[in-house]
Amino acid sequence: MPTDAVRWYGCPACRELTYGKRFDRSLRVCPGCGAHSRLTARRRIAQLLDEGSVIDLDDVTVVEDPLGFADSRPYPERMAQARADTGEREAVTCVTGTLRGHPVVAAVMDFRFMGGSLGVGVGEHLVRAARVSLRTRAPFLLVTASGGARMQEGAFSLMQMVKTSQALAELDEAGVLTISVITDPTYGGVAASFATLPDVIFAEPGARIGFAGPRVIQQTIRQALPDGFQTAEFMLERGFVDAVVPRAALRPALGCLLAVRLGAAPAAPPPAQRARGARGARLVRDPGELPARDAWEVVGLARHQRRPTTVDYIRQLLDDFQELRGDRVSGDCPAIVGGTGRLDGRPVMVIGHQKGRGTADRIAHNFGMASPAGYRKAGRLMRLAAKLRLPIVTLVDTPGAHPGVEAEERGQAWAIAENIRLMSGLPVPIVSAVVGEGGSGGALALAVADRVLAFAGAVYSVISPEGCAAILWKDRELAPLAASTLRLDARDLLRQGIVDAVVPEPDGGAHEDPVAAGELLRGALTATLDELADMAPADLVRHRRARFGAFGVEERGAHD
């Protein structure tokens, strides 16, 4: 690690020489290849937290040599040397401070201190910091860099995995936001405990993450490892981190999360924003106010390739949006996009199907047909919203769930069923809007809501018209007849009570004026969330279950 006295820095990855002051200005990221060098705990704290806001937490007292361990040197001598070399008491530094004005409690690891290893001192510092977060309800930020558990402390170090994990569990139970920033490297007991448990996991580019190191794995299985194995990018594709964030973008990304005031009950939007939402709300609740339209033409409108997508609406409607990715089990599905943001000042969790735009983009997003990983990602974000008391907005636009062998092998039916059950009992307001196609269970997995809205040019059905025609009439050419028979357009859906209100569209459809369509959606969502804002959690769940329980049994409206 270069010091301030070093005039030139030679990158070990690309061997490019960089003038020392320029290297420092670039946050110690190589300008040639983008390799992120390791930072000390103090440099990291200075980079992330507001100047003048940092206060060190009190030191802790622990049994420092529980085993009387010695290898070539006694363990106490190694500890003393690490303290002299780094100027730190332990491999983690815990502080309070603010990040873009938002209070946080931060625990930042330093790899220089015995490889950032997890021992009883690190465990106790982390737990004490978590208790401060619990008491103040300030989000808990972890920055990890570690080779794993500290061997010199034997099983005592192993027990710190439980101790720190329990501290994270207490923050979960209290509804306090936890964030992890994984830096290179993060391995062993740290990766298998507090580093990977937080609500949101960011990782720096190229950071290596895993339990066993690649050398151990290769020696054990005697196989070549995949390219990029255990890197942040590798883990992002497999659903284990939310984002790979370059160092220069890390503070803004964390600021976006904190700006929606996660971990605290959201306040009502300011009066001016409420008034704006009320003025923009044009919700049709009487089917008689909607013109009769040819159902097959409406299907074409709902599928129009220039129709705005979920990402288009997110970009227009949300401030401080931070996308969150991965199901933490098997992968990240590009057909589902979600994250936190502010809708006219109101913190929300937004989740929606993403079809993409243009042929290549649509293929990349699987035409909005989600895999099991997509529904599990949606479920993870919904549970996070419930923990943090955030209203949920879902935007539905899918032909249906992905019909493929791999999807079935990974439990597609189970994933959809789990989301339906989950949404039925979430104690926060949920508003769903069908903005294009609402296809079968793939749509329903995001649409078990307190209020279900639909654009005037949207459709919602148990099956596609083509599928219905092929099954019942043995002729896909009869899809227009099937569309009419299925009663799938907004007017019929409102009459049936499947949707609670219809959002008008610009003349010719949402694709003719996407900005106007977005503002109509903004007004509808804001007004609907206002309707639900004062309902108690138990009442939300009771009314939501009654809403769906009444279909086909009694007159609609009994749930109101």
- As a whole-number percent, the residues of the chain with pLDDT over 70 amount to 94
- Asked whether the predicted pLDDT for residue 403 surpasses 90, the reply is no
| Strand bridging mode 8-10 / 17-19 | antiparallel
Which residues of 193-334 form beta strands (DSSP E)? 200-203, 209-210, 243-244, 318-323
From the CB of residue 222, how many other CB atoms can be counted at a distance below 10 Å? 7
| 331 is a domain residue | yes
- Asked whether the predicted pLDDT for residue 264 surpasses 50, the reply is no
Residue that is written with structure tokens 């004005």 in the block: 101
Same domain flag for 74 and 25: no
| 276 is a domain residue | no
Give just the sign of the alpha carbon dihedral 239, 241, 245, 247: negative
* Chain mean pLDDT for the chain: 92
Same domain flag for 19 and 59: no
Give just the sign of the alpha carbon dihedral 191, 192, 197, 201: positive
| 274 is a domain residue | no
Same domain flag for 209 and 316: no
| 558 is a domain residue | no
Question: In which domain, by residue range, is 129 found?
Answer: 38-259
* Domains in the chain, number: 3
Same domain flag for 357 and 231: no
| 267 is a domain residue | no
Same domain flag for 104 and 219: yes
Among 457, 410, 412, CA closest to 438 = 457
Domain end residue (candidates: 197, 225, 259) = 259
| 117 is a domain residue | yes
pLDDT for 213 equals: 85
Prediction pTM value: 0.91
| 250 is a domain residue | yes
- Distance between CA atoms of residues 560 and 545, nearest Å: 11
Question: Would you state the structure tokens that stand for residue 346, as one six-digit string?
Answer: 């109101």
| Cross-strand pairs, 531 | none
- Asked whether the predicted pLDDT for residue 355 surpasses 70, the reply is yes
Same domain flag for 144 and 192: yes
Same domain flag for 74 and 2: no
- Asked whether the predicted pLDDT for residue 295 surpasses 90, the reply is yes
Same domain flag for 134 and 206: yes
Same domain flag for 107 and 8: no
Q: Which CATH number is 443's domain given?
A: 3.90.226.10
- Asked whether the predicted pLDDT for residue 79 surpasses 70, the reply is yes
Same domain flag for 455 and 431: yes
Same domain flag for 242 and 368: no
Q: What is the pLDDT of residues 109-168, one digit of tens each?
A: 999 999 999 999 999 999 999 999 999 999 999 999 999 999 999 999 999 999 999 999
Same domain flag for 74 and 176: yes
| 560 is a domain residue | no
- Distance between CA atoms of residues 10 and 20, nearest Å: 9
